[in-house]
Amino acid sequence: MTPSADDTVCDVVIAGGGPAGSATALTLLRQGASVVLTDPVAADPGRRPEWKLGESLAPRARPLLERLGVIGRVARGPHTPCFGNQSSWGGTVLTDDAFLYDPHGVGWHLDRAHFDRTLFQAACAAGAGRRAHSVRAVRRVRDHWRLMLGGETIRARYLVDATGAGAGVARRVGAAVQREDRLIALAARLPPGGAPQQPSRTSLVESAAHGWWYAAPLPDGTSLAMLMTDADLVAEHALHRPRNWWAGLMATTHVRARVGHPDPAMVRLRIVRAATAHTLPAAGPGWAAVGDAATAADPIAGRGILTALATGVTAAQAVGADAAGDRGALGRYAERVLAIHTEYLHARAVCYRAEDRWNTRFWIRRRSPSPERADGPGPGPGG
């Protein structure tokens, strides 16, 4: 393909306008790069998701938001403070992990769609060219990438995959996604109903026979309740049926007390993939994967958004270093992502081994020294 005078030329195309893509764009723009940021959902007001899972932001994210220059905008949003996490894990007693002594302050219960929009708009205001298209076909032509977005041909020196856990772009350029499990979230937004007058400002985790439950207040006064379990167990126990899901919630102690007793007929379940996965390699000549597209963690780790922001910043620095002639920068970035993912896998194993009350498949799988891999056919991000 010969370059045409009509091609749009830029330094970096970023596919995906979630937290990872926006953090990458903001950092690259500060380094003086020209950036096109494309996302069919984030860039299209008519297609924005009403709500998105992943709404608790750890205090440790604050310095990153400051560094990206968006802390003021985020703080003005409808988000509410999160004072810590409570859990009933390995026993029936509720234990507190309060952010009281965290040097970064408290966390946030996010209005996630609003948070993502804030970052995306900040990147566009800082100079990112905005497009509302999916990146599908990409071609390496000598030392640059050529891709079609709608009817437009874009030529860029670097390509960043920020498309989430499917890592569709990285897979197109030859990387492989390795999935470690088939974790699924069955989530519902519950109206205030009979919930306590003063909503608790903590997130809550409670283990159960086929997985674990999570509850958290949302900034609009509703609460989120979700069951995390494995895809095969959802099918086996028909947990996707609201009646069964509700019965499971009613069998909990702490989550049940937290969400009150809204009308079960109101339950509209959303089923979302939440598997642990990583992309190998997470970067190569002229490209990098960031956020979930690089390393996707079990929500029990509560680190997804933080890692999305951090990998976005680090990958942008590696791209800048590569452009300045440091040909090892992207390789070192890929090694760092792998190290982060490996450390996370150790932490996840320790966490699940701390719960030994259930001898069901969900827990046995996670307690065994080499966890049962479930990367055969069936759901998995992007699978």
Ligand X SMILES: Cc1cc2nc3c(=O)[nH]c(=O)nc-3n(C[C@H](O)[C@H](O)[C@H](O)COP(=O)(O)OP(=O)(O)OC[C@H]3O[C@@H](n4cnc5c(N)ncnc54)[C@H](O)[C@@H]3O)c2cc1C
Residues forming contacts to ligand X in the complex (CB under 6 A) are 15-21, 38-42, 53-57, 134-135, 162-164, 168, 185, 272, 274, 291-293, 299, 302-306, 308
Task: In angstroms, give the least distance from the CB of 354 to ligand X.
Answer: 19
Task: In angstroms, give the least distance from the CB of 226 to ligand X.
Answer: 6
In DSSP terms, which residues pair with 82 in a beta bridge?
107
Choice between 139 and 357, CB closer to ligand X = 139
Choice between 16 and 262, CB closer to ligand X = 16
Choice between 2 and 293, CB closer to ligand X = 293
Task: In angstroms, give the least distance from the CB of 211 to ligand X.
Answer: 12
Choice between 38 and 223, CB closer to ligand X = 38
Task: In angstroms, give the least distance from the CB of 116 to ligand X.
Answer: 7
Length of the chain: 383
Closest CA to 132 of 120, 122, 119: 120
d(CA 228, CA 109): 19
Choice between 51 and 246, CB closer to ligand X = 51
SS (H, E, C) the chain: CCCCCCCEEEEEEEECCCHHHHHHHHHHHHCCCCEEEECCCCCCHHHCCCCCCCCEECHHHHHHHHHCCCHHHHHCCCCEEECEEEEECCCCCCEEEECCCCCCCCEEECCHHHHHHHHHHHHHHCCCEEECCCCCCEEEECCEEEEEECCEEEEEEEEEECCCCCCHHHHHCCCEEEECCCEEEEEEEECCCCCCCCCCCEEEEEEECCEEEEEEECCCCCEEEEEEEEHHHHHHHCCCCHHHHHHHHHCCCHHHHHHCCCCHHHCCCEEEECCCEEEECCEECCEEECHHHCEECCHHHCCHHHHHHHHHHHHHHHHHHHHCCCCCHHHHHHHHHHHHHHHHHHHHHHHHHCCCCCCCHHHHHHHCCCCCCCCCCCCCCCC
Choice between 135 and 195, CB closer to ligand X = 135
Task: In angstroms, give the least distance from the CB of 300 to ligand X.
Answer: 9
Task: In angstroms, give the least distance from the CB of 325 to ligand X.
Answer: 29
Task: In angstroms, give the least distance from the CB of 298 to ligand X.
Answer: 9
Choice between 63 and 328, CB closer to ligand X = 63
Choice between 5 and 188, CB closer to ligand X = 188
Choice between 326 and 345, CB closer to ligand X = 345
Gap between the terminal Cα atoms of the chain: 31
Task: In angstroms, give the least distance from the CB of 90 to ligand X.
Answer: 21
Task: In angstroms, give the least distance from the CB of 373 to ligand X.
Answer: 19
